Structure 1
Amino acid sequence: MANDVTDKLAVLIDADNARPAIVDGLLAEVAKYGTAHVKRIYGDWTGPNLNGWKSALLDHSIQPIQQFAYTSGKNATDSAMIIDAMDLLYSERFDGFCIVSSDSDFTRLASRIREAGLIVYGFGETKTPKPFVSACDKFIYTEVLVGANEDEEKATSAPMPAAELRGDTKLLNGLRNAIKDASDENGWAALGGVGSILNKRMPDFDSRNYGYAKLSGLIHGIGLFDIEERQHGNAKHVYVKLRAKGK
């Protein structure tokens, strides 16, 4: 999966399904993947429910797009955001899109952008429906992006205990399979290769979801894998291996 910080990205935010508290962490996360050449946020700015976003827009040069709620119970914001996304896609000026919403209505949009050969980063709360998560190349849960200066959960919560991690069958199977597939003839796998495989197979995989800032910390926390550092030139690289039973 492409991960070039020179990539030109379009950031589209559904204000009805995202909180202002994430904005600092969101844009910092986007900067890991590329440069936000377009930053737009969609909603009905005539109502009071989006007041919390207004100062954030000025501070971060995010362009508000007005979309009136024409009919009660219908989300016109989604349609406006999808139309804009397709216009930007057809302009052929971007390498990828960041779709910020917890709404499953953007599932087809994410799939369509990927069909065109562009990368899609999704951002939403843990309640986001699985089809939208799976439609993205990578999905980041916004709970891990909340700034430490907010009266909410920290960007990285307390690490989950080993017993709880070991009880997560999906996590353990994903790690084991990724290590096996990235390993050499001696069973050792470069941690970077393991992370790349995990991200391709599990778009929402993120060590921060388990309270660890990095994948190496998560693997250490589980305590079921052998880990070693190797010096390559001036850099140290981490390798992991499935631990033999009984150790």
Structure 2
Amino acid sequence: MTDEKRIALLIDAENAPASKIDVILAEVARYGTANVRSAYGNWKSPSMQPWEDTLHTYAIRPIQQFAYSSGKNASDMAMIIDAMDLLYTRSVDAFAFISSDADFTPLVMRVLTDGLKVYGFGERKTPAPFVNACSQFTYVEGLGQPSAESNGTESQPREPQKLRGDARLMLMLRSAVEAASGDDGWAHLSEVGSQIGNQASFDSRNYGYTKLSELVEATGMFQVKRQDLSVYVRDGRKA
């Protein structure tokens, strides 16, 4: 019997697109089994209709929260309380949060202190603090087919010049390659990926590239070689 991770999938339905739930669930399945699936919101609101149509299809439990007072988000509070309950009972091994709301950043940081991974999913409007706090954050526009609103631009590969101009990305890649490299400067790509995962939230698809190897090659700043079904990279400056 395999030891598969139990993942709690908690959805801020008021700040997440229902149209992407199928590809998000497929993505979560790469990391484990979503044995807890809950969506939070005021289900009496007409804006929640798109989510209502998907709840039964994907076995997601709706959690009703009324707006008790103006300016207060009861749904966020309910989601945070349930997450903390799951954390304390140790009934899950990881969390997946679907939201574009930075208010969940402290929750993510709290979960991380207990050694559990947090997979985040949200739209490109998601504030950086929430994106960077997650173990891995994936923009939903990069999953599946481009949405009509994005006109396909969200999943287009970023140009090499723009990649090289992204100081955070380049520092992250170079640091990971250096940490994983041997005396000859070459590093196994899988170890580079692990190093990046330890540094910050990262997903090559957020830059328009399906694989890390494609992103690394696109920058034009690294040497890449393939040998015996393995991929190795080296900082181009050390060639």
Q: Give me the TM-score of the superposition, normalised by structure 1.
A: 0.89
CA distance, structure 2, for counterparts of residue 71 and residue 64 of structure 1: 21
Residues 5 and 16 of structure 1: is their aligned pair in 2 closer, same or farther, counting only changes over 3 Å? Answer: farther
- Give CA-to-partner distance per residue, 1:34-62, whole Å, 9 cap, x none: 10001000000011010011111121111
> Are positions 1:75 and 2:73 aligned together?
yes
- Give CA-to-partner distance per residue, 1:91-124, whole Å, 9 cap, x none: 2211011111122221221122222222211222
Residues 211 and 149 of structure 1: is their aligned pair in 2 closer, same or farther, counting only changes over 3 Å? Answer: closer
2:9, 2:34 within 8 Å by CA — same for their partners in 1?
yes
Structure 1: 4+ residue segments shifted above 3 A? 152-156
The aligned counterpart of 1:238 is 231
Equivalent residue for 1:148, pick from 145, 149, 152: 145
Residues 175 and 97 of structure 1: is their aligned pair in 2 closer, same or farther, counting only changes over 3 Å? Answer: same
CA distance, structure 2, for counterparts of residue 133 and residue 149 of structure 1: 20
Shift of 1:155: 10
2:146, 2:154 within 8 Å by CA — same for their partners in 1?
no
- Give CA-to-partner distance per residue, 1:103-159, whole Å, 9 cap, x none: 2221221122222222211222223233323332222222212x3285344597221
1:39, 1:62 within 8 Å by CA — same for their partners in 2?
yes
Mapping 1:167-186, distance limit 5 Å: 167-186=165-184
CA distance, structure 2, for counterparts of residue 144 and residue 5 of structure 1: 29
1:143, 1:155 within 8 Å by CA — same for their partners in 2?
no
Shift of 1:65: 0.6
> Are positions 1:47 and 2:40 aligned together?
no
> Are positions 1:131 and 2:152 aligned together?
no
State the one-letter code of the partner of 1:164: K
Give the number of aligned pairs: 237
Residues 105 and 244 of structure 1: is their aligned pair in 2 closer, same or farther, counting only changes over 3 Å? Answer: closer
Gap runs ≥5 in structure 1 = none
SS in 2 for 1:12: strand
Equivalent residue for 2:191, pick from 177, 190, 193: 193
Equivalent residue for 2:217, pick from 216, 220, 223: 220
CA distance, structure 2, for counterparts of residue 118 and residue 142 of structure 1: 22
Q: Give me the TM-score of the superposition, normalised by structure 2.
A: 0.92
CA distance, structure 2, for counterparts of residue 89 and residue 96 of structure 1: 9
Residues 191 and 63 of structure 1: is their aligned pair in 2 closer, same or farther, counting only changes over 3 Å? Answer: same
Residues 136 and 160 of structure 1: is their aligned pair in 2 closer, same or farther, counting only changes over 3 Å? Answer: closer
Equivalent residue for 2:110, pick from 94, 109, 112: 112
SS in 2 for 1:33: coil
State the one-letter code of the partner of 2:208: G
The aligned counterpart of 2:226 is 229
Residues 62 and 133 of structure 1: is their aligned pair in 2 closer, same or farther, counting only changes over 3 Å? Answer: same
SS in 1 for 2:155: coil
Shift of 1:21: 1.8
State the one-letter code of the partner of 1:223: G
The aligned counterpart of 1:209 is 206
SS in 2 for 1:187: coil
1:5, 1:35 within 8 Å by CA — same for their partners in 2?
no
